[in-house]
Each structure stands twice: as structure tokens, then as C-alpha cells.
Structure 1
């Protein structure tokens, strides 16, 4: 009889029975817990808000840092600033090279900044918009070019004059220098060095408004009467928001007065800055009082009964809910064989029956789709592999024909034996997955064949990490690129090819580089475009790798026209045992 009752009826009966039992202890516990929870929550909320402010400030600081890095790492700029030329050539260098470089650099920043570059090269003319004693941000986003000797009399510049043991001083600092404090600015300061000669060629100063850097520092995000202060490494206030109490701002690293809650959040360790929040303790006390009053009222009105009811009711149907949750979690993890076993004819039993039927149907459907996709994948891999072999065979047979025509029997014999060995390795009983060791043997055999053809004109070096040899790979992924280099990359009567294989965390990386004619960006785009003709061998390898290993892997091309080409092939670390692929993850 009981199993035929509806769940709704059972729940109503449970409430009627359990509401009769008062639980005074739970009310008292809730009272104290709510007060303490409110205090903890307030502190956690403030800490979380400070973290968000910190992230925003660091983003803006790094935004300016990217501008200085752009100039600091620009070797072409270093060369332009180091060469002393005649007046006309120096002016041309300024207009055609330096000004576009500086403009591109400041355009990297989303902030309104002013960049001042001081250079040693006296041949290059100065170029500036504002005087040194004016606000550099008065005219907006600008750059200025000065001579370095303008800084000789500046005391703040002294630390950058001292060279380090590695050459020029590379220290980077954020400071308020010159007119910065007067106009509410701050500057990023660093030397501009010549890597080739390891000496100083100039100095960079990038100025931004403190109000823009610390735009996210807003006391209203914490609450009324709160104060936010940013201190530098010497505990001097750089910026504040909220109550401008002088004594409060100047206490710096002190623990703070007892009537304030003080929460610190350090910025990047290289800056040694801190965001400090001061919250009056009476505000927290008021919050605690409010929570206390509400808690008492709720407990008196309903919390005693409802909490007791919730606890007891949960004991009745926790087991059934747990079963449903466990089955749902199994479904979410991909296990559709999980089943729920209930007796009776109530709503839970009906849910269990429907759930079991759904799981069975989904499991069967997934198996059907999986088998269908697996067969399709195997067919596509086989087709791609069969397409690449005739291309190589045709080229090799053409070489054998030429050797026969000229009567070079010994070289012809060596090439035929090499071809036989190559196909013995590549056929691999029809398998599309082979060991990396066998792939390396296969490409070495191919190189031996080509050395017969090209003699001293071909120079090949290999650098193979022994750790990669036991892993598996899609076969014939190296040969098309070596063949492509031999057909298209010659720059004279000699070519050098370097093959490198190494393990990078959970990936295996192959590189094939040559010193041939290289490719332009347009040629690379043409080769990789599947809608255009040409580049068949490269796209074939890329398609086979992506089909077997996923879209995260494949072929990348880097080339400099006139200097050479580098091909990078990435595959996951995996083993193929009896046709079952097992991917190995690092760590």
C-alpha cells in the first residue's frame, strides 16, 4: 500500500509529522553562525574586489610595458640609432624608420601616454612637440625624440648611468620624475641598449596619468566611508580614493588604527606597490547588527520548524536522490550503462524506469555513431596514404631510368636496392601507424636514394632525440617535405637539409629545414589553401595528422625568401599497440 502512494502525499505527511518537533539548538547555532559568516563574507568580498582592482591595474601597467618592450627588443631600431651618418641620411632615417617605429609603439597602448626617447647619436635630429618643463600629456598621445645629454643634470637618471656586469644597465622602474608629481603623472624608465655591442644607445621614458593607471581604484566598490590607497616601495601614497584623512594616508606600513580594518593586496613584486583598503570598524559592526536582528526574527518566526523539517525530510529520500545524482554524474562522465533500481510504483520508480530506458537508447546510439565514424576515419586515412605513395614511386623510377640510360649500373643497383628497402619499411603490412624509429629509418633510406642521385650536391644532417623513438606516428610524414626541398628549394648546385626530432612535454616535434630559395608569404598561403591547386604533399600530411590525432596537431611552415624554409610537424606522444592508440600526457 505504501509503495503505491504518491511522492507528494508522502512529503506532506512527513512535514506534518516533523513540524511538531521544535529544535531550539539549531536556532541558537544559526544566530551565531550568521553573525560570524557576515563578517567573514564582508572581508572576503573586499579581498575579492581588491584582487579585481589589482588585475585591472596590472593590465594597464603591462599595457605600457609592452610599448617599452617593443622598442627594447627591436634590433632594427638599435641598428638605426647606432649608425652615425651624414645630415641628409640621418634625417631620412628619422622620417622613414624612427618616426613610424615610435608611432607604432605608442599605438600598442590603449592608454593616453607620452613617450620620450633620448638617444646618444647626435647625428639624428631631435623631434618633439612639448617643452621638457610642460605636462607631456597636455597634447594627448605623442612621442618625442631628444638627445641623451639632456638627462646628464637630472639626479633621478643617475642609477641608469652605472653599467652592470653584463654591459648596459637593464633595470626597469616606475617612478615620478621631473614634472610628474606636479601634473599627477608617473613614468616607466629604462635604458635602450644595443644587444650587438652590449652598450647603451639611449633611454626610454613613457609617461601616463596616475588617474588612468589607477582608474579601477574606486572606494565606492568597497562601500561608503572606505578609503583605498596605493603605496609605493617607500610607503609613500601614490594614489588614493575615498576619505582624504592625512593621518590615515601617511600611516603606510603601520598596522593601522584600531577603529579601521586594514586589508593589503600587493601588486607585482617587481613594482613593490600595494593597494591598501581601510574600512571603518563601525561599518562592519553595523552590518553584523543588521544580520543579527534579521537572524533572530527569522529564527523566531519559522527557522526552528523549517530547519528541523528539512533535516528530517532529507533523511527519508536522500538515498533515492543520491542514486539519481550518481546516475546523472555517470551520464555526464560518458558512462551510459548506469541504471537505477527502485521498487514500487511511485514517482521515483517512474523516473527510474524512464531514466533507464533513456540511458539504454543513448548508449546504443553512441555505439552506432562511434563505429560509423571509426570506419569512415580508417577509410579516409587509407585513401590519403595510398595517394602519396605513387607520387614518390614515379619520381624514383624516373631517376632509375636516367641512370640506366647513361649506363651507371652500380648507382642504378644501389637505387633499386634502396627503393626496395624503402617500400619494405613503408608498406608496414598495410598499417597507417608506425613507430617513430621506423619513420626515421624510412626517411634515412629515402635520403640514401637521393644521395645516389645528387651525389655531393646534397648534404643532410639529422638530430634525433632517442626518447622519441619508442612512440608511434602516422607514417610517411617526413619524406614529402624532404622531396619538396629537393625539387623546389635549390639555390645553386648545393643544398643542406637538417632533420630534427625531439619531445616537448606531451608532443613530438619534427623539423625539416633547408638553406634553399625559401618561400614568400603568398606562396605559403597558397600551399596551405585547400581550395587552390599545388602544395598537395604538404596538405596530404597535414590532413592525415589531423584526421588521426586531432585539429590541434599538424604542419606549420616558416620561410624567409632567399634564405630557406623550416617545416614543423607536431603530433601527440602516443603508442599504437595492436591497432589501439593510447595517448601519453606529460606529468
Structure 2
């Protein structure tokens, strides 16, 4: 896998490599820093929000506890008032008897309410049925069976204060009350129940200022809401309102929870009375500024990355343009064009490379002109020299034939052989050109064999197996004649039956193949080595043809000779198509 990634990276263009470098060195660290900064800021804001909300809850608790203490003091003053106890416990027989009592009670209660404007009402529920009730300050106790829950809780209060839930008074106003049993100096014989009523609005006034942007609830020990901004939620259980239970326990604390589909921070603090203040703020509101800061950071990062990307593109185009210029010059050198020079400004690494390349081009041009062209000239000379070694040798043998015929017969065959000889030289010389068509090469061979038939008569026979589609192809001239000459000279005189020579022409992939095969006496191994190596005593025929072909076409082409003594010889000549 790593190897594939490396290969892919190596094959990328310059711009791709620079972009990967930019992303790796800039974008990834920038994202990591942004995420780390956002996470750190988020944690710090959450911690700060918790501290603020915790402080706010404690302040609210202190204010409420302070007010409740003042109500406790009022209840304590009335509880220990011996005169009030005497009026509430005496037996009244005549109307005139309770006038004095009501005068005292009215003055006392109205005075307390005037001094404490937050008190909505003070009521004593009496057990004494001889005192008439005024329906305001003095009322008869409820039927125990129909009494509210807080009345039943008084039995376990041991004279302490019991807080009622939110109820409605005669004016349909929401109120809560402090209640305690009146049993001063007679614990086993209570004489009434004292209640001090306070409007819920007064309780809410202590949390109103802090309710902006958050939900604040004052709940009792049972979880019922005593005060909050939304008055419809009052007297409902907090779990019912939130749709989820907040595990508060008995201590202060905090929770991050999903409240009505929003991730929210819940902070709760307990009062001495058992009430709790619960503050809830959606995390979105807490982290809004952090998200704005993160967005600004990401925006600046995006702008920076875009600018960096633009610079990378411009720089890569600048660099790749210079590299392409250098590459195009290399391509020209590959095509042997040394006329153009690289014009790259600057003295950086690419500029220095361009200057060095220009100097190398000049030196190559000089070397090619001085050495390569000389080598070509030398090889051309070798080709002509090798070819010229064949013609005089053949001319000598041909003239010998003409001389023998002239001496022996003196007939018209001399004319025929001269005609064949004339055609042979006309085609083979080819006005000094080295290359002829395959068809012309075969014509030369046919004329040569016609001349040899006049010398050897019926001592040899030839046949042709040729692909005429290859006739238009070009070849070096005089590549078949030396091998046919060897077959005739070394095989005809050594046998009584006619020698069979087969001349083949065919295509083998992208090669032209000639074959000269005979059924003569064959060539011994040692003599074969001398023929192939071109030793003078063995003759130059095979060596010359092979050397000419390889000089002209390359070492992968040439002559292959296979011979078996007593069975014959096969010569295969391969040329490029």
C-alpha cells in the first residue's frame, strides 16, 4: 500500500505535489489548531457559564432565604405572643366579649402587614368555636378529612414551619404560605394554626432580573414549581415540564442534558428550607459567541488557504513552465536538433540547469559533427569497399566462362551470355546506389544462374518459393549471389547427380527472410568457422554479406548458416521489413 502511494506521488505533476504539500503542511495543522481552540474555548465558556449560573442561583437562594427568615420572625413573634394566645383560647359568651379581642388582633395583624408589605395575609385557624370568625384573620380549622396536605404535615412538624404549595386566594392570585401549629406553652394542646401568605409574584421578583436568556425555576422539596417566568408551569412537577428527570439529589450540582430537544446546561442549588433554584441555559446560547469566533477563524483560515492555493498554482505554473521549456529542448536534442537554445531567465537551480544544458548541447553538437559524421563516412566507405570486393571476383569467373565457350564452340551462346552479363551489371551497379528492390535482387540472381547454366549445363537445378507481395520492399544489393556461387562451385563438381538449389523469400513478423538451400556435400565445421570469420583463404562471400547487412541495419539482422556434411547447406538472410 505504501509503495503504491509512493509511486502515485512520484507520478504526480509538480502542481499536484505542491498541493499535497500545502494541504499537509498548512490545512491540516490549521484545522487541528481551530478544533483545539474551539474545544478549549467551549470548555472554558461552559465552566464560566456554570460559575456564573451557580453564583446567580446562590444569590437568588440568599434573597429568598432572607425573606423567608423575615416571615419566620413574624410567625415566631405571633407564636410567642401570650396576649394573642389568651384571646384565642378564652371562652366567649357575649358579643361584647370578643370586641376587645378583635380590636387587638386587627391592630396587631394590620400593623405587621403594614410593616411587611410583601405579606399578603395573616390568618389563624382556631380550635375555639366560641370565638366568632371574621373570615380574614380568624377562621375555623378545616375538616381534617378535607384538609390540604400541608395541614396533615403539621402533625410531624413539632412546631416548625411548614410551607404550602402554590394556591389561589379569594382574588384568584397565586400565593404560597408559611404555616405552623400554635401550641405555645402547651405542646400537647394546640389552640390553632397560623398561616402567613405571600404572593408568588413577590417570589418571582427575586428571579425576574436573572431570567433573561435562561429558564429559572424555584421548586419545593417535592419538585413542584413554586415560581418561574411561565405562570402556566407553576404547581407542575419540574420533570413533567422538562420532559426529563434531573438527578439533583440533596447537594448542589450541574448536568448537561437534552431539554426539549436542545442540549442544555442545568445548574441547581439547594436552600436550607429544602427548596431548590434550577437554572437552565441551552448550550447553543452559551456557545453562540464561540461558534461565531470559530466561524471567523475558519473564514480567515479559508481565505488564507485560498490565497496560499492561488500562490501555489501561480508558482507551480511558473516552475512547470520552465521545466516544460527544458523538457521540450530535451525532446529536440533527442530528434538531433541542436539549433535551438533554452532561454530561461534567472540564476536559480532551474536557470543554472538550463545554462548547463545549453553548454552540453553545444558540446554534443561539436562531438556529433566531428565524430559521428566521420564515423558515418567511414562506414559508408566500408560498405562500398566490401561491395567492390565481390564484383571483380565475379567478373573474373564470368570472363573465364566466355573465354571457354569462345574457344570450344565459337557459336551464338557467346551473345546470350554477354546479354545476361550486361543485364546483371546494369542492375547490380544501379547507378552507384546501394539499395534496390527485392524484385531486382531476384532478377540479378536469375541472370547470374542463367550464366552459370551455360557453364555447368544440367549439373544443377534451381527453384523459387517467393512471396511476391514483398517485391516492392527495398534491400541491399548482391546479397543472394555470393551464396548461390558458393553452392555451385563447392557442390556441382563433387557429385554426378544434379545439385538442387531452392531460393525462398517470405515474411517473418517484421522481417524479410531470404533462404538459399542446397542438397550438396555440406560444409565442415572448421571450414564454416573460417567462412564466417572472413579469413582470406576461405573467401570473403559470407563474411562480406553479413558485415554489410549489420553495418546497414544493425546487429539483430544478418546471415545464419546451417550445414550438415553429406546432406546440404541452408543460408538464411534476415533484413528489416
Structure with the bigger RCO (C-alpha within 8 Å, sep 6+) is 1
Judge same fold: TM > 0.5, yes or no.
no
TM-score (normalised: structure 2): 0.44
TM-score (normalised: structure 1): 0.44
- CA radius of gyration, larger in: 2
